[in-house]
Amino acid sequence: MAEYRIEHDSMGEMNVPADALWGAQTQRSFQNFQIGTEKMPAEIIRAFGLLKKAAAKANFVCRPEKMTAEKCDCICRAADEVISGALMAQFPLAVWQTGSGTQSNMNANEVIANRGNARAGKPLLHPNDDVNMSQSSNDTFPTAMHIAAVLSVEDGLLPEIDAMIDTLKQLEKENEGIVKSGRTHLQDATPIAFSQEIKGWRGLLEAPRNMLLSALPYLRQLALGGTAVGTGLNCPQGFAEEAAKQLCALTGKDFCSEENKFHALTSKDALVFAHGALKALAANLWKFANDVRFLASGPRCGLGEIRIPANEPGSSIMPGKVNPTQCEAVTMVAAQVIGNDTTIGVCASQGNFELNVFMPVIANSFLQSARLLTDALRSFRVNCVCGIEADKEKMQENLHRSLMLVTALNPYIGYENAAKTAKKAFEENISLKDACVALGFLSAEKFDEVFHPEEMI
């Protein structure tokens, strides 16, 4: 039978598991919100560890009479355990809780206070009076959201984007000089170099990368110091700036205090803007993955212009079948990210009066998108893109069978005559040369003189 201890808060006493570091407010939320399986993201919990450590250090500077050196050190040591992930099991709350994230803020306050007191061997820290000093859930949760977003993008996603860009640059070099048929509207088009096609893929990564970089300055601005409604009640002068400075030192990132705290508490436009770049990346990855799986389709009845790694059996009934599974995973991730973008946009529109109360689901959606894109990029690169090989013979065959090579004849016989040539070649299943000569538009010798598909790129 479970053992409990008695904890209390402003509403009275609560039974809390004896081995839990959380307190009464966390327990109330745990019992009152048995909704779904989604827990507060680990990135948010780590961000709270960083935030509480920075706040303690800022309070030590701004109000040392209340935040003593002993208390500050005790909070910092406990916060370090939160940051490292060692206390992750002490954060059991659901995403589907109060829209301000108050209960997760109190979860952090209670865990850090109780862990600090255990270290000190005495009741040194109070969750509200000490760990939450100069703060409110209304400014800490949006601050944690921005910290987590910056770290997930800068330390997780951007390095994977860069790794994919480097891989594509190498593929471009390896495939220089190979000319193939281009395609538009899923129909044959004029020739393109395979390296040019790969360069297009590279642009699908580089453009949203730049969009993400343009969004980061807004995410670096922190709500901390606004307290309950943006006025900074119970927050000492200079605390917000000092806390941002401490966060910079702890993370190596350029965080700053947002000047307009009323905006910081009620608006989530920075996350909407940044997630727009994630959606752009997702849309581009969907296109990239589709190109790869169509070009690799076959092996005998599809385009078959590239070969991709065979990673696992593709069918439980068809022996020897291999599927483009990495491409499928990427496109499913892209669909999830695009759905998350709708969620974030709708939730961000609900900033009523002085506070947005859809923050946990915004945080969960944003961080899931960043996490999925990071992992999908790594998996797609390592298990598929690095192993792409051009089937030069198939590309050459398709190139010379393409009727759109007739475009090269436009300057010599005109658009309408070129169209007649292509139509005759298609209907009679003959070459463009035979069709052009039969129609009397060019001699065989002149056709050979002007018709060079490899030079059309």
* Other CB atoms within 10 Å distance of the CB of residue 47: 30
**Spatial CA neighbour of 54 closest among 256, 245, 253, 264:** 245
The DSSP 8-state label assigned to residue 286 in this structure reads H
| Domains of the chain by start residue, with CATH | 21-133 (1.10.275.10), 139-393 (1.20.200.10), 402-455 (1.10.40.30)
Mean pLDDT, rounded, of the chain: 97
Would you state the structure tokens that stand for residue 287, as one six-digit string?
């296109």
- pLDDT given at position 2: 64
Distance CA 326, CA 342 (A): 25
- pLDDT given at position 309: 95
- pLDDT given at position 126: 97
Structure confidence by residue, pLDDT tens digits, 164-191: 999 999 999 999 999 999 999 999 999 9
Give yes or no for a contact between 143 and 136, defined as CB atoms under 8 angstroms apart: no
Name residue 2's amino acid.
A
Distance CA 324, CA 384 (A): 9
DSSP letters, 66-90, are TS-HHHHHHHHHHHHHHHHTTTGGG
pLDDT exceeds 60 at position 199: yes
**Helix 69-84 × helix 42-62 angle, to 10°:** 170
- What pTM did the predictor assign? 0.96
As a whole-number percent, the residues of the chain with pLDDT over 70 amount to 100
Please report, for residues 165, 294, 333, 349, 390, the alpha-carbon distance to residue 178 in angstroms, rounded to integers and kept in the order given.
20, 18, 32, 50, 9
- Indicate the pLDDT class of residue 310, thresholds 50, 70 and 90: very high
Distance CA 327, CA 291 (A): 9
Give yes or no for a contact between 376 and 387, defined as CB atoms under 8 angstroms apart: no
Structure confidence by residue, pLDDT tens digits, 360-406: 999 999 999 999 999 999 999 999 999 999 999 999 999 999 999 99
First and final C-alpha spacing in the chain: 76
Distance CA 359, CA 343 (A): 11
If residue 295 lies in a helix (H) or strand (E), which one and from where to where?
Answer: helix 269-295
Peptide bond into 299 cis (omega under 30): yes
- pLDDT given at position 320: 87
User: Where do we find the tokens 């709350």?
Assistant: 93
Q: Which residues are catalytic?
A: 185, 315
By DSSP bridging, strand 306-307 and strand 389-390 are antiparallel
The DSSP 8-state label assigned to residue 302 in this structure reads S
Distance CA 386, CA 336 (A): 25
pLDDT exceeds 90 at position 14: yes
pLDDT exceeds 90 at position 288: yes
Burial class from Cβ neighbours inside 10 Å (0-12, 13-18, 19+) for residue 208 reads buried
Give yes or no for a contact between 153 and 213, defined as CB atoms under 8 angstroms apart: no
Distance CA 165, CA 169 (A): 6
